[in-house]
Structure 1
Amino acid sequence: MRFGTFIPQGWRHDLVDIDPSEHWDTMRALAQSADAGPWESIWVYDHFHTVPAPTDQATHEAWTLMSAFAAVTERVRIGQMCTCMSYRNPAYLAKVAATVDMISGGRTEMGIGGGWYEQEWRAYGYGFPGIPERLGRLREGVEIMKQAWTTGEATLDGQYFQVNKAIVQPMPPQQGGIPIWVAGGGEKVTLKIAAQYADYTNFTGTLEEFDHKSAVLRGHCEAIGRDFGSITRSSNFNTIIADTEAEVAERIDAVEARMARHVGADTAAEYVHANYHSDAPGVGTPEQVIERLLERQKHGLGYSIHYFPEAAYDRSTQQLFEQTVIPALAEASGDDL
């Protein structure tokens, strides 16, 4: 199994109580620590307003951070999970990503999706079109990016996007273009787009849901004659581990208390319960997390991306994960579904 980790950027109230003047130093240090460690990749979210509710707390912009991380790291790959297609014109986005790829020396990953955070869409003046339009924009945008990165220009007279010989030079240094991660598990459209264009998928849920989405993806691949095994399946996991279950519970309580000061006790409690419950794959003792991830690996999970809510304040749980979980799974083989 391969591993990535998210860098706190404020979106999930994970930089509160740190002075904004120190945010970049904090994020840079975490990125460079991951670069020197066992992680294959670092990730950010593409959002403008905080969750679980919009507040005045900082949320740093994803592609600005991508460029900055590219300049201060040497090895680790750099991605966003995931870019909202409709927040930027896709030809412009292809140009931005190609530039980041040049800065990084060919270490960029393109996570892409249809977008979901309605409050944020409307606040920034994007409206909030229905799901069919959001996914239609996703499909057309991916086509534009694929063209741009493989031919140096893009032309598409689409329903949602129209570009005419949009030049993207220099092209990304990665042969074949920047790897595309299609995020989401929509069975009729999103996974069909993934079957056609994606190098990676990103969906989660229960093990049964993961198996079902995988079977749907396989069906879409077979329908177009693509090798299902050529797509790496990934999932994101909210992660808090400690040596004992009691310490895990204490750390979860601390995350909730920090968030409650900004969104209220009820909202924080609901959010933390939904994301850090005791049977979540990334929550528990090292032994528990290893067992759950090994089971996922046996069902075809090839890439595991972990978000540590405490990282900006305390790296000990992330370090424990690096020392125990990654070695246990890095060399284990899974049975593909």
Structure 2
Amino acid sequence: MTDYGLDLQFGVFLTPSSAAPQQAVDLALTAEDAGFDSVTIQDHPYQPRFLDTWTLLSYIAARTERVKLSGNVLNLPLRPPAVLARAAASLDLLSGGRCEIALGAGGFVDALVAMGGPRRTPGEARRAVEEAVDVMRALWDTSERGGVFLPGDFYPIDGAKRGPAPAHPISIALGALGPRMLDLIGRKCDGWLPSLGNVKGGAQALPGLNAIIDGAARGAGRDPASIRRYLNLSGTFASSRTGFLTGPPESWATDLAELTQNYGISGFIFATDDAAEIEEIGTTVLPATKELVARSR
């Protein structure tokens, strides 16, 4: 049971519906006005019912002023890391330092293969993600002279020029649950972004998963507290509490504060396309949760 002591961050997880192109943009503006810290967009490039995530993030960046922007999570097999690194740095420069990266190894394999992507084994997918992290970090690092040379099985780089440097140090989080991916997060990444609904055993399983990240971080000479633990969540407002994130705003705040105090979660990303729910979370749940955590600390 660990509270890593990081400041709390709140975000939304929006659906990029191509049938209602302005919906996600309007919801992003609602979230910013309600006090959220970030806007994230799911990424399924093979799905024609969705807008392209990177295009949508860029458009939202131009319409907003403060919120950070990220895919949740970007489909790495269909987004080559060298190109993604330059795209992220560009968006970061244009938005005043508001771009962050969250990567996934690529689900729905048949669909991504149909789009020309690779079919990889779980081990290959993990190694490809690790290579991608190294590629992106190297291309952003303009403090070194000369080109980038990174031999690799999936993303070899042979003399690519560095830059542009982003406006701020872009963080890289991974959406993953396997032990080897958690080890990678501990060794090289800045954040962990699972969906609670995909965690076998629910919140009670989080300490064990955190322990894998923490052990890998210490083994690499890193402070485990430097790695932010995010969680994709959803809930239902009701007049009385009947379960986790099901009840009035004050019960939501209690549930979220316990996730911070007992399970180390400091980033809450709410999957919702309901403007009223976004406003309720931002104006009532967000400040109440921060107050509860501040008291406990």
**TM band (smaller chain):** 0.7 to 0.9
Match status 1:243 vs 2:239: yes
Residue in 2 that maps onto 1:194: 185
| Percentage of matched positions with identical amino acids | 26
Describe the superposition over 1:246-279 as per-residue Cα deviations: whole angstroms up to 9, x where unpaired.
xxxxxxxxxxxxxxxxxxxxxxxxxxxxxxxx74
Cα distance in structure 1, aligned partners of 2:55 and 2:93: 14
Task: Write out aligned runs for 1:44-193 (5 A).
Answer: 44-49=41-46, 58-151=49-142, 154-174=148-168, 177-187=169-179, 189-193=180-184
Cα distance in structure 2, aligned partners of 1:125 and 1:155: 26
Task: Write out aligned runs for 1:221-236 (5 A).
Answer: 221-236=217-232
Match status 1:4 vs 2:11: yes
Match status 1:328 vs 2:288: yes
2:22 partner amino acid: D
Match of 1:209 among 205, 209, 214: 205
Match of 1:287 among 250, 262, 266: 250
Higher relative contact order (CA 8 A, sep 6+): 2
SS at match of 1:331: helix
Paired residues of 1:2 and 1:40 also in contact (CA < 8 A): yes
Distance 1:66 1:302, change over 3 A: same
Deviation at 1:197, TM superposition (A): 1.9
Deviation at 1:193, TM superposition (A): 1.4
Deviation at 1:49, TM superposition (A): 4.7
TM-score with structure 1 setting the length = 0.77
TM-score with structure 2 setting the length = 0.87
Describe the superposition over 1:272-300 as per-residue Cα deviations: whole angstroms up to 9, x where unpaired.
xxxxxx74x44433233222212111121
Cα distance in structure 1, aligned partners of 2:291 and 2:152: 44
Distance 1:2 1:120, change over 3 A: same
Cα distance in structure 2, aligned partners of 1:6 and 1:127: 27
Paired residues of 2:140 and 2:164 also in contact (CA < 8 A): no
Mark the runs of 5 or more structure 1 residues left unpaired by the alignment.
Answer: 51-55, 246-277
Residue in 2 that maps onto 1:268: none
Distance 1:335 1:49, change over 3 A: farther
Describe the superposition over 1:77-133 as per-residue Cα deviations: whole angstroms up to 9, x where unpaired.
001111122112111111111111111111001001211222321321224211001
Paired residues of 1:8 and 1:27 also in contact (CA < 8 A): yes
SS at match of 1:164: strand
Match status 1:296 vs 2:263: no
Cα distance in structure 2, aligned partners of 1:292 and 1:117: 32
Cα distance in structure 2, aligned partners of 1:239 and 1:148: 39
Deviation at 1:223, TM superposition (A): 1.4
Task: Write out aligned runs for 1:245-264 (5 A).
Answer: none
Cα distance in structure 1, aligned partners of 2:186 and 2:240: 41
Paired residues of 1:91 and 1:154 also in contact (CA < 8 A): no
Paired residues of 1:144 and 1:156 also in contact (CA < 8 A): yes
TM superposition outliers: structure 1 runs of 4+ over 6 Å: none
Deviation at 1:307, TM superposition (A): 0.8
Cα distance in structure 2, aligned partners of 1:41 and 1:172: 18
Cα distance in structure 1, aligned partners of 2:45 and 2:107: 12
Cα distance in structure 2, aligned partners of 1:110 and 1:172: 12
SS at match of 1:333: helix
Cα distance in structure 2, aligned partners of 1:161 and 1:199: 21
Residue in 1 that maps onto 2:5: none
Paired residues of 1:234 and 1:303 also in contact (CA < 8 A): yes
